[in-house]
Amino acid sequence: MLVLRILFKAGVLPVAIEFMDRPIIEICENFAKAGYPECEALLIVEVEGSETEIQDQMDRINVIAQKHNPVEIRQSQSAAESEAIWLGRKSAFGAVGQVADYMCLDGTIPVSALSEVLRRIEELSQQYGLRVGNVFHAGDGNMHPLIMYDANKDGDLALCEAMGADVLRLCVEVGGCLTGEHGVGIEKRDLMENQYSAGDLEIQMAIKDVFDPSWLLNPAKVFPLAVSQSRTAA
């Protein structure tokens, strides 16, 4: 993700930078016919402003991208072409759902750690024997690995959940957090101890005690069961 860091250092601040890897590109292309090139990964970059400002940003983006020998640089020439490009990205979750059951994760990491995290997710994919497609908001490091599994195969869901937990632990390990936009709920509650110390969790639960002394609101969510049982029992 060196290109992203160079873009930001050059003062280019796109309104959107979306990443799609090969598995996602292939699945989305078969589904939406967006016309994506055959490549290992692509970035969809969108800028805004006056015509002069847009062209200035695009010129700088092109100069930076060319230094990294891209398979292709494509600049939309019309609203229809932009719509086709975005159609593939916006179809990603539905398109994957056509070919496999999947679990979508929501860890967030520093942009500087994107390359390392993608590499280690691939290692986890091989370790668990589950295919993973990566599609996410590259500009803010909000990861959305889609772990694909077979719900009709005994043990596959548990395997998928175990891999998902390892990916989220990885996000915390590199300086990120368990969730960027989808919340904690039940799925991530027992991973909260990977991000917060016992003291941190005690303070958070003490605040909940003030506003919800009987713990009636969303019981058994967010906080690990092991550290919240005494409050819910009371």
**Residue range 2-93, CATH number:** 3.30.70.3450
Phi, psi of 214 (to 5 degrees): -95, 0
pLDDT per residue as tens digits for the range 7-53: 767 777 788 889 999 999 999 999 999 899 999 999 999 988 888 98
Query: Average of pLDDT values for 110-124?
Result: 94
- What are the Cα distances from residue 38, in Å, to 49, 105, 118, 138, 186? 30, 26, 19, 20, 39
Amino acid at 192: M
Query: What percent of the chain clears pLDDT 90, i.e. is strictly above it?
Result: 59
Label residue 1 by pLDDT band (50, 70, 90): low
pLDDT per residue as tens digits for the range 181-218: 888 989 899 999 999 999 999 999 999 999 999 888 88
| Unique residue bearing structure tokens 């590259």 | 138
pLDDT at 2 > cutoff 60: no
- pTM score of the predicted model: 0.88
Identical fold at 2-93 and 102-173? yes
Run of H or E including 229: helix 225-233
Label residue 69 by pLDDT band (50, 70, 90): confident
CB-side exposure of 213: number of CA atoms within 13 Å?
Answer: 1
Question: Do residues 64 and 10 make contact, with C-beta atoms less than 8 angstroms apart?
Answer: yes
Label residue 230 by pLDDT band (50, 70, 90): low
- Domain segments of the chain: what residues? 2-93, 102-173, 189-233
Phi, psi of 206 (to 5 degrees): -65, -35
Q: Which residue has the higher pLDDT, 69 or 133?
A: 133
**Residue range 102-173, CATH number:** 3.30.70.2740
Label residue 116 by pLDDT band (50, 70, 90): very high
pLDDT at 82 > cutoff 80: yes
Burial class (CB in 10 A: 0-12, 13-18, 19+), 190: middle
